[in-house]
Structure 1
Amino acid sequence: MLIKLKLISYSAPRVESLEARMGRMESMLEGLKTQIDILSQRGEIDSAIEDVHEVLPSSEEREDERTLPPLPDILPIVDEYFSSTNRLLPLFDQSKFMQMLRGWYSTPDQRDSATWAAINVVLALGLLLQPHIDAGEGLTVAALVKNAQSVLDDIVTREEDILSAQIVLGLCILFQESPDPQPASVLVATAVTLVHRLRLYSRSGQENLSQADVRQRDRLFWIAYVLDKSISLRAQQPPLLSDAWTDIDLPEVDPIDGAGVVYNLQGTSKINFFRLRVQLGIIQGKVYDWLYSVTADKLLSAAKEQFVQSIEYTLHQWEESLPREFMPDSLLESASPGVVQHLASLHWTYLHASAMIHRAHSHNQKWIQIILQRSAIVIDKPIRCALTSPQPSLPGSWSKLVGSSRACMKLWDSMPIYNESLIW
């Protein structure tokens, strides 16, 4: 089924308001350096870095410091990134990136801040979930992220090209690995500004672009869309990209370059991770719009219940589309280590959306209070409670939620690398 989206056309005052909001959020980018400490809890970041909280020098002051390890030292990290993370979330075109990377080393007089930032982002993403790679002394996720952040002012004010959007979206992915959604939400706001500036949401004006360039622009839009909807639901704040008609189709099931396609180790089954993630992002957007937005607060209970049933059915259909080999209890035997983390994140996102539909989460204070009161009675007077105290009502689809949670926790316990962003 083809799902089409469009962006709402805003009036001039609305556009000015949105741009003003973007401007304020962009000014917060400097504060993101304090969030690198969150990544340090992952164990990939050298605890010896103590100057993270200092004011970053200007890009001019850092120009002479824009160095990278020898090309042979970083190629294994780049290869790992393109064989795992980028294969599932196609942020960069591999051939164009490799051309840019080799140009950095072969023509030093033509180096620029955007190329340097892009290389740092790719190296950070390559190292983040692959701690087995010998990155060499001093090459850490924190240092690489700090490098990319140090030239963000140059990046967001560049002439219109997609490299700026790729860099900012790459940083969004990195900060989304943190359990705190706030840093990523600031970066997503900047990314959405670039999406509008580059008109990635529309095919108009792309007649002179190659099919490869059009495909890459579409993918960048969908990556921004997925990040925006995910962070919106986690933070329970309005998304910046609104669902409306557009001429950007969903990612292809079998793209010519295989982007998003993952086979099980036996080669007998496959999915398109990227397409599935976009479909899940659309569902996340509906969960917020229909159940958590200001408009949703004004709906009658009967209307809300209809929305719950509709979204729950759509989410169920999404889960049913997954082959058995890619369910949580089969992932470790079916998927390579380089993609297990991403596939696990897919199931956690599904579980989070399901919990948010039924408000079975710790942010639902009313339900938590009922559970705590019931627990206190059971502990204090268990026999009387069993005879006289009614069982508190459970959220809808409770058995399904419990079963999915247990499956995800078993997978979590078996994974070699823990991801704190999966905790909510």
Structure 2
Amino acid sequence: MTSSTRPSTRSWRVTASKVPEVTIWFWLIKILCTTVGESFADWVNVGLGLGLGITTMIFTAVLAVVLGVQLRLQRYVPVVYWLTVVVLSVAGTLYTDILTDRLAVPLVLSTAVFAVALAAVFGVWFARERTLSIHSIFTLPRELFYWLAVLVTFALGTAAGDWTLALTGWGPGISVLLPVTLIAAVIVGWRFGVNAVLSFWLAYILTRPLGANLGDWFASPTAQHGLGLGYGVTSVIFLAAIAAAVVYLTRTRADVIELNDEVTQPKPRRAVSVVATVGYYAVVILAAGALLQWASAQPHGSAGAEEEGGPPVAAASLAPGEAGTTFPAADLAQFRTITQDTLAKVTAADQSGARTRIADLETLWDHDQDRLQSMNPKTWSVLDHEIDAALKAVRSGNPSVDDEKQTLTKLLASLR
């Protein structure tokens, strides 16, 4: 799939572009980058214990440096270009996580906000430059619009993907099928004449949830039908694959159109009308919406039922000290510290601080799930239920201090 807009003559001269030719290599590395964006962000945030806030600041600074280098270049350089994409992927993931975990913005709202933001970027870009083609990126303003659009697509793809998972309750593996199907629909439309630029950007957005779901599938515990590799190993695997592909492209220049190379006009494709395009994608959207509606009506398990407003499921309680005889003391100490900090902020009427702090509990608990759950599934399930209850109380749109204190105090008692 390509988004290039070509002149009507038989051949033309190509100005040095700042982006690669859209080949199979482009899409392969793009999917790998989006996978790293999901797994590497979680690994640095949780695995290294830096926390969401510090991790976001670090990658924002790294993004500024890498993007500055990219903008100073005069043409496409594979290493710098794809490093920029990787860092943008991580940053876009973290910005969405900040909205969700720290500011408690509902995923449906953040998805809508990013969709509007992307439409605004495209609108201003087209109004100024009269093209959105990836093959027109050879001036600084166009490149700035391009990278801004890429960042917003990563954030939008993250929010939309997470919202879909929350809505459907799908686990790793099966969740990959929806973006794959939608990308296939985009390819079919393109093959039958749907505008190439539109097709390119739709596919570009959809590769974000595809890559993120792949990352979750590789990293998630086997108990959740994942491959159980963990986010650190998953990041290393996909970063190595990206590095190998970039080395190949650097050596072969397979995705570079040389300056002043003469390029032969491809055979023109029959274009479909705007009405036909709108009708086609209306059918695709309606079909996807019907599928999501059906999936959301299916039972998702106890935690999912509570999050979707279903009736709470009763859970057993732990005897005093039971968790301490099951799980490592160091792990429980970390969970208690975060819970105590959250309770202190609730008591001090610092609701924003409480939401921020309890997000650390969620990420740490999820990170350790595979290891702790294998030690004692029953005890883990009880604690998981109590942590979910605390998260729900603190993140409520209309929080009750009494409910927050009650759930946090109960959780503290179970963590001893």
TM-score with structure 1 setting the length: 0.25
TM-score with structure 2 setting the length: 0.26
